[in-house]
Amino acid sequence: MSYLILVRHGQSVWNLEKKFTGWVDVNLTENGKSEAKKAGELIKQEKIEVNLYYSSFQLRAKNTLKIIQEELQDFKEVKNAWELNERHYGALTGLNKEEMKKKLGEEKVHQFRRSWDQRPDPLDKKNPYHPLNIETYKEVPPEKIPDTESLKDTYERVIKFYKKEIENKTTENILISAHGNSIRALCKYLFNLNDNEISKLEIPTGNPLLIDLENNKISNCKYLDQERAKDLLVF
């Protein structure tokens, strides 16, 4: 048996401010750092030796993982992959979700956030929030950088990376620090969720999802912080 641990980063500054964040590189709040510390403590209690660590390119995911590793006193090298980044919210990036509900209506905003294949309008390439203008992404080939994404787009890049880099490591215990939508994409693939089911899946911040794997098939899964667990729609 091996383990896959999925951790959505702790609360970020823009989570707190209820902004569409996407690829903008914002850091953790103090509460987010506390969530990451608690995540590390919970993983430590499971007495699982993590063999491989993965993170997105984004500061909030990288710093969540850094805090977890400090709690585990395990400083193995981390593989950072832009393919594990959050979904790009296009022209919604930086806008307040509550204000957009008033402007566009709750249903429309819900569609943008939870639909499978609906993309917001593209973000202008001259906008300072566009990834082309953010130092973090200078290593990413420009043709790979999106102007906007649906969850389906996010799924395709995340799962392509997962199949190539992670899925075949069947004997390793792996921890991935990523984002709400990149983890939703992974859960859609791992749990074989349909397009309707994935729209209902919510991923809590800083709460490790421990997945038991036998021959690359899920035998069990649970959130380690049961007080903040969300419905997995399976098991």
The contacts of residue 86 (CB under 8 Å, 6+ apart) are 21, 22, 23, 56, 58, 154, 178, 179, 180, 181, 182
Q: Tokens standing for 30?
A: 């103090």
Measured distance CA(230)–CA(135) in Å, rounded: 34
Q: Please identify which of the residues 35, 83, 86, 149 carries the catalytic annotation.
A: 86
Q: Alpha-carbon distance 8 to 226, whole Å?
A: 15
Q: Per the residue annotation, which of 9, 88, 130, 179 is the catalytic one?
A: 9
Query: Is the CB of residue 186 less than 8 Å from the CB of residue 162?
Result: yes
Alpha-carbon distance of 53 to 36, in angstroms, equals: 15
Entry field: residues in the chain: 235
- Contacts of 189 by beta carbon, 8 Å cutoff, 6+ apart: 155, 159, 162
d(CA 17, CA 202) in angstroms, rounded, equals: 19
Is there a catalytic annotation at residue 9? yes
86 assigned to active site: yes
Q: Which residues are catalytic?
A: 9, 86
